[in-house]
Structure 1
Amino acid sequence: MKKILFLSVIIFSITQSAKSQDYINPLDFRLQLSGTFGELRSNHFHAGIDLKTKGVEGQKVYSIADGYVSRIKSSSYGYGKAVYITHYDGKTSVYAHLQEFSVKIDTIIKKQQYKREKFDINVFLKKDSLKVKQGEVIALSGNSGSSGGAHLHFEIRDTETEHPLNPLNYGFKVIDKISPLLKQIKIFDLIDGKSEIYDIKKLNNKYTVKDTISTNNKIGIGIYTYDQSNDAYNKNGVNKIRLYIDSTLIYNFELDRLDFSKNKYINSHIDYEEKVNSKRKFHRCYRLPNNPLKNYKTLVNNGHINIDEDKIYDVLLVVSDSYNNVSNLNFKLKYADNKFVIKTDSLTNEKSQTFYWYKKNEFSDKNCRISINKNYLYETIDFKYLEKDSISATFSNIHQCHYDIIPLHKPAKISIRANVPSYLKDKVYIAKLKNDKYYYFGGKWENNFLTTKIGEFGDFAVVADTINPTIKGVNLYPGKTIKKQRTIKYIIDDKESGIKKFTASLNGKWILMEYDHKRNLLNYNFNDLIVKGENIFTLEVEDMVGNLRNYKAKFKY
């Protein structure tokens, strides 16, 4: 019986993908998903799968096959601590948000960190210089970088192109018998830019909306949907969406492979305005003008649907996950003029200018200028600008540069005129104002204008930061005698412009302090730089505009 079961696993692996190798799981317990490949994330499609680690850090992480370590990464953000293993079948596996590396991997990266005197580094290794075997423990799982909780981020990449591939096509078994959940559809009027949302209901195991939806004569369709797997009820991403009009396939979107160079085009794929306003992420089942994604396997007329009068159209949406669990939605469309919700009119004092996605755009007013290069927008927009009065904390008026419901693919250049006292000129920056908070975007002086790059639209002004960062000891203070303690921990913070860098030393020599930005925590693990008797620890923290805080503590060990 065990042999039959083993054989069935082999057959399943082969049917999952003809290219699938004899990979083993990266964890030594049943795989449960907290995130799927291609899932809709902030500014990117998810490049791998997230695997639950029983809610804790420190689980053993295994190499899925023989290979060699080709890259080791350490960062306070993003992937945190990560290992890249190149295999001999043309694939590379990636393991991220780790707590710690195995000894032989850790030795290499720490040597480079001390050599460069930096925590955030990338180390690239030559082929076969650090080999690993299948099943070898390469790390412990963690929550490092921008991770929001203990888990293992796992990827399979094509080694030559570095394109991420769907790991669930390579034999990694997850128990999933649940079909995607369909929640809402959205009908977009592609002439007037209006839209309307319709709730999807499930009755007698069948998804429905109102029987016939009335629309204007050129529309696009969007859908809010997500997936779940057994025993792990996270709202994960779906794998494939197909749209049929009168039984003809006009749209087929499939997440089988990604391209990092095009990953931010997710903001043209989703309904970005809805994401900002309601946090719901609708897939557009049509394509905006500036969207080069290759995941549209079928796309007729860019997914645009022309609705003729006196005709009823049958619509079928088919949504599936990586294990071919499928959900269908059938409904009908017909023509009816002026059916859509009317958008709120712009403010009467706003200045307006058409910005074209396919060429460079420049706007200039007395106290504000903005420049956007070609292809930095996803579609042509009616750019709106309004100069508002300053408030007590700003050194300029507030400049409304369009609305943050419209995404920028790459940063625009903004320049704001400001009258700043000479003694504060090196302490000011351009900030985005939202919800009574200031968000740092930097700035350099060009004559009387402060200039920087902004990655999003919104309200901007010039503000100052004259407050030094703060340093607070967690387990060390001046005069302390240490006996059993094996770490030094400090909390560093800056509530104005934010922390730019820090430097720590022990007895005059640079030491590696790992930085967890989520907790503002610095941590040094004792090594041979600590000595018996008196030690001197120093820490310098600098914020984004150059304010400094220095700290010194003598202690005995």
Structure 2
Amino acid sequence: MKYLSLLFFLFACPLNLISQDSTYLWPTNSGKFLSSTFGETRSAHFHAGLDIKTWGREGYKVFASKDGFLDKLLITNKGYGKAIYIKHHDGSYTVYAHLQRFNEQFQGIADSIRVNELNYSYTFEQSFEDQRIKVKKGDIIGYTGSTGIGPPHLHFEIRNNLNQPINPLLSNLAVKDTVTPVFSSILIEPLTVKSSVSGSFFPQEVHPINIINDTTYFDTVFVDGDFGLSANVYDQANSVNNKYAVYELMLILEGRTLYHEKLDRFDFAKAYNMFVNRIPAVNSGKRDFQRLFGQQKFGHPFLFEESQFSATEQGRFEVVARDYYGNQSVAVIPVVKETRTDLRYSHKNFNKHWTNNWIIRNDTLNLDLRKPDQWITWDSTASQKIVTLEDPNFTISRLSSDKHYSLTSPDYEIKVEIDSKTFFETLSLLQDVQYINDTLSIQIGVPELVNRKNLFVQVQLPTIMQGMDHLNLYQFRKGEEPSFIDSWVSGTTLNAEIPSLGNFIVLNDSLPPVIREPELVTLGNGMQTYTVKTDDNLSGIDFESALFKINGIRGIPEYDYENNSFTFYLPEFYLEPENKIYLKVSDKAGNFTDKSFLHHIK
């Protein structure tokens, strides 16, 4: 019987989830408090680890969490910044990111490669797996910082032997947490063109009306037709005010579990599933809501169970939110059949809202995009239709997710190439191009729809723009400055790969960046050097173009994109009482500028 129990344990606990030796050392001396947890929503992916608080400071020690070998060193402009990857004897990995600097040994390796092999490049990535550089548990491997993205903190990951991130809180690592999750609101989405919520075709957000102990009560929701529930809920912990992802979510109807997810692990290949699992409310860009339906078809990595049920079912719905330590909250949402006397129209002034299959024009008017007999056929292979002859370039195409498409406007001024699997599901894609008042504007889809691959766009430039230098495509988002998109002109055509759908404009940027006065600073390793800030209001700084010299000696231009500053770095470099500082840099549109300074150290 003892041997049968052992066999059961081995088969019940796969080695690629938690390694055989799951004892980890807490990776820093800044304290056991978190600013973010595993599985949280990021701009284009799930969060792959823990963010450990460093209280707005840099320079805390970072320790190797287990024995192993140096696997990789990484320095990026954004993302992880300066990061260390360690491979352990069981094949698993740990990752330590946003570091201020590496330890002396690793920093020397990185500096030598950047100066001697990469021509003073700030960024680099190099594997050291074959060199078998030993690391012992508890070794100081670096110091906390703020490189990459975000304020000072340590990003820490555990990955299994398949290089998949797993939740570090499933190991022996722990924080003090006796606080229950908190429900902010619930979103109810109509799932068909004829479905409505409280008399409206728009998704409706409802807020708590009462909280008793750990149960949050919501007002009755009136629905007609198929609907889905999404939860805006967060976790907390003792002694800090940060909001975390909830480890476990369940949707229950009258005692029957309809949906169950746990933030255990995910595959980086499925990180884009964030777009269909985490969604915003109408007219919001923040993906605050987690869908509790329809995730199985996308292979959602956190899905534990999803039952088949009628989306028209009504009754007392409960959402159970539970953290890693068993602290639990429950949301209660009564859902009943909508009748004419129940209608309570939304008083919010929503703009029209796109779904994959229809447009919500207002509370009581939808436009079904799937009708084959509406509008004028332009390209039958893509079901591309001209909406009105008054604007023949305004087309809508019905696209299957598993096909490749080449969409050309009726006047042949714009062409869009779309790979298969660019979209998650079949959808309708708007396409328009206009040249008005010397401005070339383009619309490809709408921001509500999401894509997991870039779209390739070719735009025929108007005669007046042909031959102009520094033309690029920029994306416009509501309330934001234009965002530069890497693009290039070939003959009379502007080419670009767009990362997301929305509105775009072609602009000429002929103004170089502005270089500010240098500032004397002391780095974490005690080195005195200079930091120089730059500004570029349209295209942004091309940090890879920078040439930074002090007293005629070239250094590595370490770039902080959050404040557009360059810091001169070179091992064993010392300033003089009088220093000649030179910086040359370009913006992303190719406009170069340079400036020299003479600075005295008092």
Tell me which interval the TM-score lies in, with the shorter structure as reference length: 0.7 to 0.9
1:411 and 1:36 map into 2 onto residues whose CA distance is 29
Does the residue aligned with 2:469 lie in a helix, a strand or coil?
Answer: helix
Cα 1:19/1:205, change in 2 over 3 Å:
farther
Deviations 1:360-409 (A, max 9, x none): 34433223332322221123323234445535xxx543223232122221
1:59-98 alignment, distance < 5 Å: 59-98=60-99
Aligned to 1:155: 157
1:135 Cα offset (Å): 1.4
Aligned to 2:416: 370
1:71 and 1:388 map into 2 onto residues whose CA distance is 48
2:460 to 408, 413, 417: 417
2:221 and 2:554 map into 1 onto residues whose CA distance is 67
1:101 Cα offset (Å): 1.1
1:86 and 1:475 map into 2 onto residues whose CA distance is 39
Letter in 2 for 1:46: H
1:421 and 1:213 map into 2 onto residues whose CA distance is 56
Whether the 8 Å contact between 1:411 and 1:456 is mirrored in structure 2 is: yes
1:7-86 alignment, distance < 5 Å: 19=20, 21-86=22-87
1:475 and 1:539 map into 2 onto residues whose CA distance is 13
1:145-294 alignment, distance < 5 Å: 145-147=148-150, 149-158=151-160, 160-192=161-193, 194=201, 195-210=203-218, 212-272=220-280, 274=282, 277=284, 279-287=286-294, 291-294=298-301
Cα 1:334/1:468, change in 2 over 3 Å:
same
Aligned to 2:398: 354
Tell me, which stretches of 5 or more residues in structure 1 are unaligned? 1-15, 477-483
Cα 1:528/1:51, change in 2 over 3 Å:
closer
1:124 Cα offset (Å): 1.1
Cα 1:268/1:181, change in 2 over 3 Å:
same
Whether the 8 Å contact between 1:359 and 1:375 is mirrored in structure 2 is: yes
Whether the 8 Å contact between 2:473 and 2:486 is mirrored in structure 1 is: yes
Whether the 8 Å contact between 2:74 and 2:84 is mirrored in structure 1 is: yes
1:80 Cα offset (Å): 0.7
1:278 and 1:425 map into 2 onto residues whose CA distance is 35
1:370 and 1:495 map into 2 onto residues whose CA distance is 29
Letter in 2 for 1:133: K
Aligned to 2:586: 542
Aligned to 2:303: 296
Cα 1:535/1:235, change in 2 over 3 Å:
closer
1:537 and 1:247 map into 2 onto residues whose CA distance is 71
Letter in 2 for 1:99: Q
Cα 1:59/1:449, change in 2 over 3 Å:
same
Deviations 1:43-97 (A, max 9, x none): 1111001111132111111111222221111122111111111222332111111
1:462 and 1:289 map into 2 onto residues whose CA distance is 40
Cα 1:199/1:454, change in 2 over 3 Å:
same
1:244 Cα offset (Å): 2.1
1:214 and 1:234 map into 2 onto residues whose CA distance is 34
1:532 Cα offset (Å): 6.7
2:589 and 2:218 map into 1 onto residues whose CA distance is 56
Does the residue aligned with 1:467 lie in a helix, a strand or coil?
Answer: coil
1:206 and 1:496 map into 2 onto residues whose CA distance is 49
- CA-atom RMSD in angstroms: 3.0
Aligned to 1:138: 141
Whether the 8 Å contact between 1:247 and 1:314 is mirrored in structure 2 is: no
2:50 and 2:444 map into 1 onto residues whose CA distance is 37
1:216 Cα offset (Å): 2.5
Cα 1:376/1:288, change in 2 over 3 Å:
farther
Q: Does 1:427 align with 2:427?
A: no
2:61 and 2:577 map into 1 onto residues whose CA distance is 37
Cα 1:314/1:452, change in 2 over 3 Å:
same
Cα 1:69/1:420, change in 2 over 3 Å:
farther
2:498 to 454, 458, 469: 454
Whether the 8 Å contact between 1:20 and 1:170 is mirrored in structure 2 is: no
Whether the 8 Å contact between 1:290 and 1:357 is mirrored in structure 2 is: no
1:301-320 alignment, distance < 5 Å: 301=308, 305-307=310-312, 312-320=314-322
Whether the 8 Å contact between 2:86 and 2:94 is mirrored in structure 1 is: yes
Cα 1:389/1:277, change in 2 over 3 Å:
farther
Does the residue aligned with 2:115 lie in a helix, a strand or coil?
Answer: helix
Cα 1:292/1:425, change in 2 over 3 Å:
farther
Letter in 2 for 1:126: E
Does the residue aligned with 1:237 lie in a helix, a strand or coil?
Answer: coil
Whether the 8 Å contact between 2:44 and 2:272 is mirrored in structure 1 is: yes
Q: Percent identity?
A: 25
Letter in 2 for 1:374: S
2:293 and 2:50 map into 1 onto residues whose CA distance is 26
Q: Does 1:493 align with 2:498?
A: no
1:182 and 1:547 map into 2 onto residues whose CA distance is 49
Does the residue aligned with 1:44 lie in a helix, a strand or coil?
Answer: coil
2:74 and 2:462 map into 1 onto residues whose CA distance is 43
Aligned to 2:428: 382
Q: Bigger CA drift: 198-207 or 84-93?
A: 198-207
1:463 Cα offset (Å): 0.5
Whether the 8 Å contact between 1:384 and 1:402 is mirrored in structure 2 is: yes
1:473 Cα offset (Å): 3.0
1:421 and 1:183 map into 2 onto residues whose CA distance is 53
Q: Does 1:129 align with 2:129?
A: no
Cα 1:469/1:29, change in 2 over 3 Å:
closer
Aligned to 2:372: none
Whether the 8 Å contact between 1:396 and 1:418 is mirrored in structure 2 is: no
Cα 1:232/1:511, change in 2 over 3 Å:
same
1:170 and 1:127 map into 2 onto residues whose CA distance is 28
Aligned to 1:397: 440
2:216 and 2:553 map into 1 onto residues whose CA distance is 68
Aligned to 1:322: 324
1:105 Cα offset (Å): 1.0
Whether the 8 Å contact between 2:559 and 2:565 is mirrored in structure 1 is: yes
1:372 and 1:321 map into 2 onto residues whose CA distance is 41
1:55 and 1:242 map into 2 onto residues whose CA distance is 35
1:214 Cα offset (Å): 2.6
1:273 and 1:381 map into 2 onto residues whose CA distance is 20
Letter in 1 for 2:329: S
Aligned to 1:8: none
Cα 1:447/1:305, change in 2 over 3 Å:
farther
Aligned to 1:479: none
Deviations 1:503-538 (A, max 9, x none): 224566542121111121111245446687987654
Whether the 8 Å contact between 1:307 and 1:334 is mirrored in structure 2 is: no
Whether the 8 Å contact between 1:217 and 1:307 is mirrored in structure 2 is: yes
Deviations 1:391-431 (A, max 9, x none): 5xxx5432232321222211112222322657853310111
Aligned to 2:380: none
Does the residue aligned with 2:249 lie in a helix, a strand or coil?
Answer: strand
Does the residue aligned with 1:261 lie in a helix, a strand or coil?
Answer: helix
Does the residue aligned with 2:114 lie in a helix, a strand or coil?
Answer: helix
1:440 to 484, 491, 494: 484
1:96 and 1:552 map into 2 onto residues whose CA distance is 34
Whether the 8 Å contact between 2:215 and 2:332 is mirrored in structure 1 is: yes
